[in-house]
Amino acid sequence: MMSDSKKDCFAHGGVLLFLFALQFFLPAYHHGNMARIMVLASYAIGYNLLFGYTGLLSLGHAIFFAAGLYGSGLAISQFGFSVGVALVIGVAAGCVLSAVIGALALRTEGVAFMIVTLMFAQAGYLTVLYFGEFTRGDEGFVLAHADRVLWGVSLSDQTSKYFSAFSLFCVSLIMCLALVRSRFGKVLIAIRENEERTQMLGYNVVWYKFCTIILSGSISALAGATYALLFGYVGASFASVEYSIYPLLWVLLGGAGTVIGPLVGMIFMFYLIDLSSGVTTAYMLVAGVVLVFLAVFAPQGVMGEVRSRIWKWLS
Amino acid sequence: MMTTTKTVAEKAASKPTRRDALRTLGLGGAVAASMPLWARYAGAQTAEPIKVGFQVHRTGIGAAYGRWYDRTTSAAAALINEQGGINGRPLEVIAEDDGTDPKRGAEVVEKFAAKHNCDIGFGTLFSHVVIGSAPRVGELKLPYFVVSEGHHVASGMLNRYTLQPGITDVKSQVQAMAPFVADNLGKKVTMVFPDFAFGHDHRDYFTAAIEAQGGEVLEHIAIPPTETSFTKYFPKIPRETEVIYHVMVGPAVLTFVKELGEFFGPQRPEMFGFIDSLEAVDIGSPGLEFLDGTYFWEGNPRYAQENQSEYDAFFRERVGVDANGASVSDPRDVSTYAHMFGCWETLHVVKAGMEASGYRGTQDRAALIEAVEAMTDLPHSIAHPQGAKVFNGKTHQVFGKQYISKVVDGKMLLVHTTSIEDTFYPDEVDYTTQSL
Amino acid sequence: MDFGPYLMLAIMEGALTAAVLALTASGLALVFGVMRVVNVAHGEFFMLGAVLAWWVTQLAGGSPVLGFLLALCVVPVLVGMLAAFVDMTILKRINYDPERTIVATIGILYILQQVTLMTYGPEARPVAPPFNARIALPWIDMSDGTLRLYWPWGLSITSYKLFVIGAACVVLLGLWALMTKTKLGLLMRATEQDREMALAFGIPVQRIYAIAFGLGAGMAALAAVLIVPIQQAHYLMGGDPLLLSFIVVIIGGLGSLPGAILAALLIGLSDGIISIFFSPTLAKIFATLFVAFVLVFRPKGLWGTGKP
């Protein structure tokens, strides 16, 4: 009999192997979709660290995603940096921004935290519009194919796109898994479950939260930077409030506080819209009804239900 | 990607079966990871309909435009099919909603190329969706015919697979207005525009153009995109303003015009606006009485004029638009008449391009691009009901006449038509130097 | 325009924004206070109010006054009943769990938007105001030591805008009376303070919830009916009111009705006044950051009672 911890590792390793193998079987359309899904699922993983494990509900994560997106995009379009450097700049932008916002927002909690993060993200969105000279505002700008080459590999190529997205997802998932299985992660869960008791046990709760915000913001920025580099478009819609709500939705659907939940939620939402739009023009209606049903019948999200009913050992 | 440059014959010959794919997998990850993807981009089937992937704004902020783009496209496709299709093959329009969102837009063009195996992508209006989709289109080598009036194509920002042959761009529209404004309305202008890229284009191009006419812009008033009330910005309009140049988009434009009227009361300066503000809106709506006597740019006159061309009459009839620019089945359903002709004209350009290049299937996409690039004069005809046009193959942008109308008794009366030459500006890009 | 009249104009416009916002936000605050859930679909009830107002005025035919009065009476009730129905069929079943409520109300948001798009369409449609006279306002000028009354260029308001501000005050007074002077208000306040205790005392908490939810949505719809002759009905118009009333509710101190109204005044007025001094987009950036910093330094809201 395998130990639960081993099962857990194998299960997540299996998911990664499956995603790797998938690229050889998927038809072209779904191949492209999966690349996109994995990038956005990494964003959701970043979000889940803060929301699902630490219990901090942010409504402003789009600013971190956009920091990566614009950090790397502008580094290339305005300063002509290479892809590698641009990626680092994107993540650094997210890291710094999350530290600043984290330091301020952690003075609040609960709904006030939601609003403070929402407001900072709105200010970020408006800032993108304000500097339209460089960002082209809502229209956004494109990164030329020739500028999107990493170590001689063109990121606009289908195969390398999938592979880059997969690598990003691997990094995010393994990091998340390692973190939540570590002592640090256990403290985070303790904070989520009972913040006062954790504090009384001598943990510096605010410090743990602060570190998690930075980590979460940086992963989100990494996903944003990768999105810009793989798909060649940087636009203000990614900084809008919708892109703060989406990760929350994906995480809740897939299962908050599960490592694989963000991916499941993202796949679910993507194909829900994609498939229903093939059947009816009223696909939003379908999406709406499904969301209501999920809220009623699967309160912990897909993976949360799986964990509470079948695989109790799942991280 | 090595694959799309291969001919279809090669593709068909080397098209692997699923078992082959499995065997390849057995060879090991490193080799497999770089496995070419031609398997997934299967070749075209001949004697099939020509598939036009229509990226339509069914939901989201562009829905009012999308509905009329949809109707115009259906009417144009029906006409082309009645006339025998393209190269003897019927035209099939495959519409996908992009939600007026650049991310979904890129996914949709991918769906056209990879899932529906469309011959071209077509029909996008909102600039951010065009720009969001264009990189993907270039990678997929899918000819992408946009109907957006943005300057993004001619500015050189996009790529050789993106063309705009059916509607003029904002830069040419705006600069062609300056002589009329300076000569007839006044030389001291205050501009009110939305504070994002579309508005900035107006700001930059019109300011330069009016200065070339000896006029000046006294004040630029940029309105934040999320704004729903406007009166508080109007005091920034200088007293000595002779003309207010306004262009707003989005559902709040009615409020904007109404509040402008309430602000000025009886003593207003001359006003010149872009009809974009009031597309799909009845000029006779309550609160818009204030617009009487003001001037508008129109891409195509919404109200049937006295000297209406037979082509315009035919176009109206086929799309189902009455003499007031509203749906024949519901007079309250006002069309986006100043823009939607672009869908009709673009589909006819596609037809002409496919016939000129002897287009057979997706392997001839590059030839289609070259055939369209070779076009120059597009005469006023059933295919081009808005007026004669000149296509610039280097910048992938079409140029044409612009119309200026005056609101008289709740209707718009054409008062000025620019020449095509008024809309020219020096080339900013030569897409033909890019590889196909 | 001179500074004085400009400020006056900005304040009046701000007051209008504040009036509508106070109505919408007090609906959200009521729901939040009594039920402790975030209703993401609140803005859609606002939108529905505007769209239904258009329908009703169309049905009423010619007279704008009659159509408007009819809409004012019928629409909030219709929307309120729909909301109560949503509460009884959906929210009740998910036990008012905060997170599940977010997912479910996002779903309801999609449903309401799509149904409106399919029936009402994508256009922005105006409703004729019942009356709308432009009232030019005077200003006092000090020159050469004498006071002089003059009519500055552009300084004006319409009678309808004044009516909206007045009507909002009346409705808010009515709501205050309902909450403090009636039995229903008492029951709602009891439920708000302690649900378990309320249950133990035999208060039909379930029914109170449905009423609160319906009342909250009805307030949003009423605000929409009032504003629709100024702004047009459009199927995506619910986003901004949701965001703003959300902010107002939090700044005002969770679930506190007077707090929400004060916060609405603060936000509405500052929105108008800040726009005098900065370029509009920059003004919006400062306004949003201002809200963030208010909360950073007063995490419980400006008039919060302590319960987060």
| B251/B285 same-domain check | yes
Strands B295-298 and B403-408: antiparallel
Share of chain C above pLDDT 90, in %: 21
Considering only the beta carbons, identify the residue of C101, C291, C299 that sits closest to A119: C291
pLDDT at residue C258 is higher than 80: yes
User: What's residue C305's pLDDT?
Assistant: 54
Residue C304: per-residue pLDDT: 60
Q: Does residue A96 have a pLDDT over 90?
A: yes
- If you count DSSP H runs as helices and E runs as strands, how many of each does chain C have, helices first? 11, 4
Task: Output the pLDDT for position B238.
Answer: 86
Question: Looking at residues C135-153, what average pLDDT do you find?
Answer: 72
Residue from C23, C4, C14, C21 nearest C283 by CA? C14
Query: Within B34-90, where are the H helices?
Result: 63-82
Mean pLDDT of chain A: 86
Question: How far apart, in whole angstroms, are the C-alpha atoms of residue B329 and residue B335?
Answer: 12
- To the nearest whole Å, the CA of C256 is away from the closest chain A CA by 14
Cα of B285 to nearest chain C Cα, Å: 7
Whether chain A has a CB inside 8 Å of the CB on C108: the answer is yes
Tell if the CB–CB gap between C127 and B286 is shorter than 8 Å. yes
In this prediction, residue A45 carries a pLDDT of 93
Residue B378 parent element (H or E):
strand B377-378
Whether pLDDT at A189 is above 60: yes
Instruction: Give the pLDDT band of residue A109 (cuts 50, 70, 90).
Output: confident
> Which of B190, B191, B232 should one mutate to test binding to chain C, selecting the residue with the greatest count of C CBs within 10 A?
B232
Is there a domain that residue B318 lies in? Answer: no
At residue C186, the 3 state secondary structure works out as: helix
Q: What is the pLDDT of residue C204?
A: 84
Which two three-digit tokens encode residue B327?
A: 């749906």
Cα separation, B316 vs B318, whole angstroms: 6
CB-based contact (8 Å) between B111 and chain A?
yes
CB pairs under 8 A between A and C: 124
Question: Is B41 a domain residue?
Answer: no
Nearest to C100 among A119, A127, A295 (CB): A295
Q: How far is CA A252 from CA A224, A248, B333, B430, C275, in A?
A: 21, 6, 40, 49, 38
Sort strands B389-392 and B377-378 into parallel, antiparallel or unpaired: antiparallel
Q: Report the half-sphere exposure of C211 (CA within 13 A, side-chain side).
A: 15
* Count, residues in chain C: 308
CA angle C105/C107/C111 to nearest 5° reads 115
Entry field: residues in chain A: 315
DSSP H or E stretch at residue B95: strand B91-97
Selecting from C107, C115, C254 the residue whose C-beta is nearest the C-beta of A291 gives C107
pLDDT tens, residue by residue, A136-158: 878 888 887 777 777 777 777 78
The pLDDT value recorded for residue A37 is 92
CB contact under 8 A, A231 and B200: no
The number of distinct structural domains making up chain A is: 1
Which residue numbers of C have CB closer than 8 Å to B's CBs?
Answer: 1, 5-6, 9-10, 13-14, 16-17, 64, 114, 117, 121-129, 132, 134, 136, 153-154, 156, 158, 230-232, 234-237, 240, 272, 275-276, 279-281, 283-284
Shared domain for B292 and B182, answered yes or no, is yes
Find out whether A57 and A245 touch, Cβ atoms under 8 Å. Answer: no
- Alpha-carbon distance of C182 to A126, in angstroms, equals 45
**How far apart (Å, rounded) are the C-alpha atoms in residues B200 and B169?**
14
Per CB-CB distance under 8 Å, the chain B contacts of A281 are 58, 97
The partner residue sitting opposite A159, judged by closest CB among B24, B29, B33, is: B33
Q: How far is A46 from chain B (nearest CA, A)?
A: 20
Q: Is C85 on the interface with A (CB under 8 A)?
A: no
pLDDT of residue B10: 41
Instruction: Looking at the structure, tell me whether residues B270 and B416 fall in a common domain.
Output: yes
Q: What angle do CA C241, C245, C246 make, to 5 degrees?
A: 115
Both B62 and B90 in one domain: the answer is yes
Q: What is the pLDDT of residues C27-53, one digit of tens each?
A: 988 888 888 888 889 999 999 999 999
Instruction: Decide: residue B213, CB within 10 A, 0-12 exposed, 13-18 middle, 19+ buried.
Output: middle
Question: Which stretches does DSSP call E strand in B6-63?
Answer: 50-56
Q: Summarize pLDDT for A208-255 with one digit per residue, the tens.
A: 889 999 999 999 999 999 999 888 889 888 998 888 888 888 888 888
Nearest-Å Rg of the Cα atoms of chain B is 23
Q: Are residues B155 and B71 in the same domain?
A: yes
Question: C10 to chain B, minimum CA–CA distance in Å?
Answer: 5
Interchain proximity A159–B35, CB inside 8 Å: yes
Cβ <8 Å between C124 and B253: yes
Determine, for residues C106 and A245 on separate chains, whether the beta-carbon distance falls below 8 Å.
yes
For A16, B76, C6, C23, C172, the CA distances from C169, given in Å and listed in that order, are 60, 54, 24, 9, 5
Which amino acid makes up residue C264? A
pLDDT > 80? residue C11: yes
Nearest CB to A292 within list C90, C114, C246 = C90
CB–CB contact B255 C158 (8 Å) = no
Which chain C residue's Cα is nearest to A242?
C239
Instruction: Show the low-confidence residues of chain B (pLDDT under 70).
Output: 1-47
Three-state DSSP class for residue B220: strand
User: What's the pLDDT at B84?
Assistant: 85
Task: Please list every residue in chain B whose beta carbon sits closer than 8 Å to the beta carbon of residue C232.
Answer: 251-252, 254-255
The CATH number of domain C3-128+159-297 is 1.10.3470:
yes
**CATH code of residue B368:** 3.40.50.2300
Counting the structural domains of chain B, the total is 2
Read off the tokens for B127: 């600039």
Q: Do B195 and C232 touch (CB under 8 A)?
A: no
Whether residue B290 sits in one domain with residue B415:
yes
Assess contact for B375 and B352: CB atoms under 8 A: yes
- B383 within some domain: yes
Element (H, E) at B190: strand B188-194
For position B25, what pLDDT does the model report? 40
Q: Does A63 touch chain C (CB under 8 A)?
A: no
* Residue in chain C nearest A60 by alpha carbon: C292
Residue range C216-228: mean pLDDT, rounded: 92
Q: How confident is the model at residue A40 (pLDDT cuts 50, 70, 90)?
A: very high
Token pair belonging to B283: 């000029």
Domain match, B212 and B350 both: no
Which residue from C177, C176, C135, C173 is spatially nearest to C157, judged by alpha carbons? C135
Of A163, A231, A274, the CB nearest to B33: A163
Question: Does the residue B229 lie in any domain?
Answer: yes
pLDDT of the residue at B47: 61
Nearest to A228 by CA among A51, A56, A93, A36: A36
Q: Does B139 touch chain A (CB under 8 A)?
A: yes
> How far apart are the C-alpha atoms of B244 and B268, rounded to whole Å?
9
pLDDT of residue A83: 85
| Rounded Cα–Cα distance for residues B80 and C175 (Å) | 62
Dihedrals φ, ψ of B66, to 5°? -60, -40
Bridge partners of B413?
Answer: B406
The answer as to whether B432 is a domain residue is: no
In a domain, B15, yes or no: no
Facing residue for C281 by CB, picked from B224, B232, B285: B224
Contacts of residue C263 in chain A, CB cutoff 8 Å?
A: none
Q: What are all long-range contacts of B43-46, with beta carbons under 8 Å and residues at least 24 apart?
A: B43/B8, B43/B11, B43/B12, B43/B15, B43/B361, B43/B362, B43/B363, B44/B8, B44/B117, B44/B119, B44/B360, B44/B361, B44/B362, B44/B363, B45/B117, B45/B361, B46/B360, B46/B361
The reply to whether B244 and B150 lie within a common domain is no
Specify whether B143 is located in the same domain as B245: no
Q: A97 in a domain, yes or no?
A: yes
Inter-chain contact A111–C296, Cβ cutoff 8 Å?
Answer: no
| C123 vs B64, B195, B229: nearest CB | B64
A185 located within any domain? yes
Q: Let me know whether B412 and B283 are in one domain.
A: yes
Same domain, B143 and B175: no
B321 part of a folded domain? no
Nearest CA in chain B to C125: B281
Q: Report the complex ipTM.
A: 0.83
Of A156, A277, A283, the CB nearest to B139: A156
For B121, list phi and psi in degrees, rounded to 5: -105, 155
Residue-by-residue DSSP string for A55-99: ----S-THHHHHHHHHHHHHHHHTT---HHHHHHHHHHHHHHHHH
In a domain, B93, yes or no: yes
Interface of B with A in 41-60 (CB under 8 A): 41, 58-59
Average pLDDT over residues C234-246: 85
A141 interfacial to chain B (CB closer than 8 Å): yes
Q: Which structural domain, as residue segments, surrounds residue A235? A: 4-244
Answer whether A235's CB lies under 8 Å from A140's CB. yes
Least confident of A55-59, B8-12, B257-261, C196-200: B8-12
Q: Do B104 and B243 lie in a common domain?
A: no
Domain hosting B140: range is: 50-168+338-400
